[in-house]
Amino acid sequence: MTSAIDSFSRDDRGGSHRQALSNAWVPLAQWLAILTMTVEHVSKFLWPAAAFTPWAITLGRVAFPLFAGMVAWHLVHNTRRPTRYGLRLLGVGALAQLPYLLVVAPKLNVCFTLGLGLLAVVALQRLQERYLQAAVGIVLVILAVSISPYVEYGLFGLLLVPAFALAFRYPHRTAAAIPVLLLAAVINGPPLHMLISTVTAMTLVLLASGSLRLDVPVPAIPRPLRLSWYPLHLAVIAALSFLLVSA
The residue range of the domain holding 170 is 4-246
Which residues are CB-neighbours of 226 under 8 A, at least 6 positions away? 30, 34
67 Rama sector, left if φ>0, alpha if ψ -120 to 50, beta otherwise: alpha
Per-residue pLDDT of the chain (247 residues; tens, 9 = 90+): 333 333 333 344 344 444 444 688 899 999 999 999 999 999 999 999 999 999 999 999 999 999 999 999 999 999 889 999 999 999 999 999 999 999 999 999 999 999 999 988 888 777 666 666 666 666 666 777 788 889 999 999 999 999 999 999 998 899 999 999 999 999 998 999 999 999 999 999 998 888 888 777 888 899 999 999 999 999 999 999 988 887 6
What per-residue confidence (pLDDT) applies to 5?
32
Number of Cα atoms under 13 Å in the Cβ half of residue 74: 21
Enumerate residues 6+ apart whose C-beta is below 8 A from 22: 207, 208, 210, 213
What b-and-e string marks burial along 112-137, b requiring 16 or more CB atoms within 10 Å of the CB? bbbbbbbbbbbbbbbeeeeeebeebb
φ and ψ of 136, to 5 deg: -60, -40
Report phi then psi at 108, rounded to 5: -80, 140
- Count how many domains the chain has: 1
Contact 221, 34 (CB under 8 A): yes
Per-residue confidence (pLDDT) for residue 18, from 0 to 100: 44
Task: Give the integer Cα–Cα distance in Å for 29 and 226.
Answer: 12
CA 143, 75, 62, 110 torsion-angle sign: positive
The separation between CA 56 and the C-alpha centre of its own chain, rounded to angstroms, equals: 19
Query: Distance between CA 4 and CA 109 in Å, rounded?
Result: 27
Residue 15, pLDDT score: 43
Angle at 210 between CA 205 and CA 214, to 5 degrees: 85
First vs last C-alpha separation in the chain: 56
